[in-house]
Amino acid sequence: MSAADVRVPLAAPPMTRRRRWQAAWRRPETRWAYLFLLPWILGFLVFTAGPMLASLVLSFTDYDVINPATYVGGENYQRMVEDPEVRTALFNTVLYTVIHVPLSIAIALALAVLLNQIGGRFAGFFRTVFYLPAMTPTVAVGVLFLLLLNGQNGLVNALLRLFGINGPAWTTDPDWVRWGIIIMSLWTIGGTIVILFAALKNVPNDLYEAARIDGAGAWRQFREVTVPMISGSLFFVTIVNTIASLQMFTEVYTMFYGNAQSELQASDSALFYVIYLFQQGFQFLEMGYASALAWGLFAIVLIVTLVQVKLGDRFVYYEGDDR
Which residues contact other proteins by CB under 8 A?
Answer: 46-48, 50-56, 58, 62-67, 146, 150-153, 166, 169, 171-174, 246-247, 259-260, 263-268, 274, 277-279, 281-287, 290-291, 293-295, 297-298, 301
Please say which residue, 233 or 269, places its beta carbon nearer to other proteins.
269
Residue 165 CA neighbour count, 13 Å, CB half: 11
> Could you tell me if 301 and 243 are in contact, meaning their C-beta atoms sit under 8 angstroms apart?
yes
- Closer by beta carbon to other proteins, 167 or else 190: 167
187 versus 298: smaller Cβ distance to other proteins: 298
Smallest distance from other proteins to CB 122, Å: 38
CB of 39 to other proteins, least distance (A): 16
Which residues contact residue 175 at a Cβ distance below 8 angstroms, ignoring those fewer than 6 apart? 168, 269
Indicate the residue among 10 and 264 with the shorter CB distance to other proteins. Answer: 264
Residue from 317, 115, 122, 320 nearest 198 by CA: 115
Question: In angstroms, how far apart are the furthest CA atoms of the chain?
Answer: 99
CB of 28 to other proteins, least distance (A): 34
CA pair distance 266, 62, nearest whole angstrom: 28
Q: How far apart are CA 305 and CA 217, in angstroms?
A: 35
Q: Tell me the C-alpha distance between 118 and 82, whole Å.
A: 54
Question: Which sign does the torsion angle of CA 180, 132, 234, 302 carry?
Answer: negative
State the nearest-atom distance from the C-beta of 168 to other proteins, in Å. 9
Nearest approach, Cβ of residue 148 and other proteins (Å): 12
Cα 76 versus chain centre, distance: 27
Name which of 56 and 113 has its Cβ closer to other proteins.
56
Q: How far is the CB of 93 from other proteins (least distance, A)?
A: 11
> Measured from the CB atom, is 116 or 308 closer to other proteins?
308
Contact present, 248 and 272 (Cβ < 8 Å): yes
3-state secondary structure of 71: strand
